[in-house]
Amino acid sequence: MNAKRKRGKPAKRAAPAPPPGHPYVRNLLGWYAAVKRPFPWRGTADPYRIWISEIMLQQTQAERGVRHFTAWLRRFPDIRAVAEAAEADVLAAWEGLGYYSRARNIRLAAKRVMEEHGGEFPRAHEKILSLPGVGDYTAGSIASIAFGAPEPAVDANVLRVFARVLDICAPIAAAGAKRMVTEAVRALLPADAPGEFNQALMELGALVCGRSPKCGECPVRGDCAAFRNGTAADRPVKGAKSARTLRETVAGIVLDADGKACVRRRPPGGLWAGMWELPGGEIENGESPGEAVARHIAGALGTPAAVRGEIAVVRHGYTTNRAVLHGYLCELAEPAQTRRDDGAAWKWVAPGELASRPFPAGHRKLLERLGWK
Ligand code: SF4
């Protein structure tokens, strides 16, 4: 059946949630048991694995997350291994996933678990929630999946599904809407399988009730108010979009006479703290990308460089920005005169040594074009 078939006026009030023990739960769990994807973080009650997967998958598609998850577990098989690792090693293992504060928080939380909980992952929801980088959703996931606690785990998928199940006509980003969804999920959680139920809802959001809902395949359409009202395609209601800023930047791969590249570790604090970077920065009004890269290199290194040519233009996004990065190959005419800049020294590093150092996405993509990552 087509969800748009009976398009009508938006419901004025959200529909009541299905009551506990409702067929909704049975239908959803039965469907999940039959179709769930066999990801390596499923079928385990190990809170460490569940925690890492949940943090990793916040900004990463599940299929892509498998490779990162498997590599992470090889490098850090347990909490102790993360707690004892240097920050640089944790950031390097996180490379490619973006939002590096998540990796820093994992390390801090692992240290906290070792120091305050004797290496045992805390079971109580509020203790899980107090760990660095752990929010309501992640705490609910770990508590329900690892420890069987009746805690909802409401992420964007579940918000979208329930905006439809309850036919919520308020913007879904509003605090009231999220509260309504959280309470509706809490009321439905089966006492004997809260973790399965939470995972089933996420799977429903990922496989069936996505941006374009496939209502004809949906195991819970009999209890979906938006399906009934013909409003599924209009839910969730979005709020006003915050504008994304477009930044145009440059970076130089500056080589010295020995073929070494100029890089530095960013100072602690601020965006991309502790990661490595190439010299570069923003393009100013009226400046060409080539002029901008020459200016940034001269400013950073205190000596001019010959700009040899553009290697690539890469596009990437971070926080609320979209960025276009022009990458140039440059050479120093004279022996390198590195100097301190913002408290972090520029260094000359052989290309083969760059692979193990974490770079922000744009710079990493440039280095990949040269086969150095
Ligand atoms: Fe359609 Fe099912 Fe989503 Fe309701 S929950 S909108 S029936 S896919």
Residue range 299-346, pLDDT digits in tens: 888 888 888 888 899 988 766 678 899 999 998 766 555 544 444 688
Based on the domain organization, do 166 and 301 belong to the same domain?
no
Number of domains in the chain: 2
User: Residue 240: what pLDDT?
Assistant: 67
Is there a contact between 142 and 207 (Cβ–Cβ < 8 Å)? no
What residue's CA is closest to ligand 1, atom 3?
209
Which has more confidence, 78 or 62? 78
- Do residues 229 and 348 share a domain? no
| Structural tokens at position 274 | 């502790």
Distance CA 153, CA 134 (A): 12
Are 323 and 229 in contact, with CB atoms under 8 Å apart?
no
Q: How far is CA 173 from CA 8, 34, 158, 243, in A?
A: 23, 32, 13, 16
- Ligand 1 mean position to 306 CA, how many Å? 59
Q: How many angstroms is it from 219 CA to the middle of ligand 1?
A: 8
Banded pLDDT at 41 (limits 50, 70, 90): very high
Q: Who has greater pLDDT, 20 or 277? A: 277
The Cβ-side half-sphere exposure at 277, using a 13 Å CA radius, reads 22
Mean pLDDT of the chain: 88
- Does the pLDDT value for residue 20 go beyond 60? no
Tokens of 302: 């205190």
pLDDT at residue 348 greater than cutoff 70: yes
Q: Which atom of ligand 1 is nearest to the CA of 164?
A: 6
In a domain, residue 17? The reply is: no
- Shared domain for 203 and 73, answered yes or no, is yes
**Ligand 1 lining (C-beta closer than 6 Å):** 3, 161, 164-165, 208-209, 213-215, 218, 220-221, 224, 226-227, 232
List, for residues 142-180, the tens digit of each pLDDT value.
999 999 999 999 998 999 999 999 999 888 888 788 889
Amino acid at 234: D
Percent of the chain clearing pLDDT 70 (strictly above): 89
Statement: the pTM of the whole predicted model exceeds 0.85: no
pLDDT above 50 for 2:
no
Confirm whether 354 is domain-assigned. yes
- Expressed in angstroms and rounded, the spacing between residue 229 Cα and the centre of ligand 1 is 11
Are residues 207 and 168 both part of a single domain?
yes
Structure confidence by residue, pLDDT tens digits, 355-373: 889 998 899 999 998 998 8
Beta bridge partners of 347: 263
pLDDT at 342: 47
The CATH number of the domain where 152 resides is what? 1.10.340.30
Mark whether 203 and 312 lie in a shared domain. no
Q: From 286, 284, 277, select the one nearest 327 (Cα to Cα).
A: 277
Cα distances (angstroms) measured from residue 352 to each of 93, 355, 357: 17, 6, 10
Residue 363 sits in a domain whose CATH number is 3.90.79.10
The predicted pLDDT at position 17 comes to: 63
Residue 319: both structure tokens together: 């926080």
Whether residue 362 lies inside any domain: the answer is: yes
CA distances from 94 to 97, 100, 138, 175, 333 (A): 6, 7, 18, 31, 36
Helix or strand (DSSP H, E) at 299: helix 289-301
Spatial contact of 227 and 215, defined as CB atoms under 8 Å apart = yes
State the pLDDT at residue 3: 41
pLDDT at 172: 86
Which residue range is the domain that position 49 belongs to? Answer: 23-234
Pocket test for ligand 1, best of 5, 167, 224, 228 (most atoms within 8 A of CB): 224
Mean pLDDT within 27-38: 95
Whose alpha carbon is nearest atom 4 of ligand 1? 224
Tell me: do 152 and 259 sit in the same domain.
Answer: no
Same domain, 134 and 168: yes
Confirm whether 5 is domain-assigned.
Answer: no
pLDDT band at 242 (very low <50, low <70, confident <90, very high): low
**Do 153 and 218 lie in a common domain?**
yes
Kindly provide the residue ranges of all beta strands, DSSP E only, lying in the chain, ordered along the sequence: 245-255, 261-265, 276-277, 280-282, 305-318, 321-332, 340-341, 344-349
Res. 42: pLDDT tops 90: yes
Domain membership flag for residue 279: yes
pLDDT digits (tens, 9 = 90+) for 182-197: 999 999 999 999 999 9
Q: Is 287 one of the annotated active-site residues of the chain?
A: no
* CA 313/CA 248 separation, integer angstroms: 10
**Which one of the listed residues 54, 95, 203, 277 is annotated catalytic?**
54
Is the pLDDT reported for residue 47 higher than 80? yes
**216 pLDDT more than 80:** yes
Domain end marker among 202, 234, 266:
234
Indicate which residue's Cα is closest to atom 6 of ligand 1: 232
**Considering the domain boundaries, does residue 239 fall inside one?**
no
Select from 234, 263, 297 the last residue of a domain. 234
Name which of 210-214, 251-255, 281-285, 320-324 the model is least confident about.
320-324
Q: Is the pLDDT of residue 68 over 90?
A: yes
The larger pLDDT score, comparing residue 241 to residue 24, is at 24
**Residue 146, in any domain of the structure:** yes
* 99-128 confidence digits (pLDDT tens): 888 999 999 999 999 999 999 999 999 999
In-domain check, residue 153: yes
Domain end position, chosen among 234, 266, 284: 234
Query: What is the pLDDT, as a whole number, of residue 267?
Result: 80
Residues 223, 192 within the same domain: yes
Do 84 and 209 reside in the same domain of the chain?
yes
Q: Are residues 199 and 65 in the same domain?
A: yes
What is the percent of the chain where pLDDT is above 90?
A: 62
Are 218 and 355 in the same domain? no
Pairwise CA distance, residues 84 & 228, whole Å: 54
- The closest-lying atom of ligand 1 relative to the alpha carbon of residue 219 is 2
Q: Cα(58) to centroid of ligand 1, in Å? A: 23
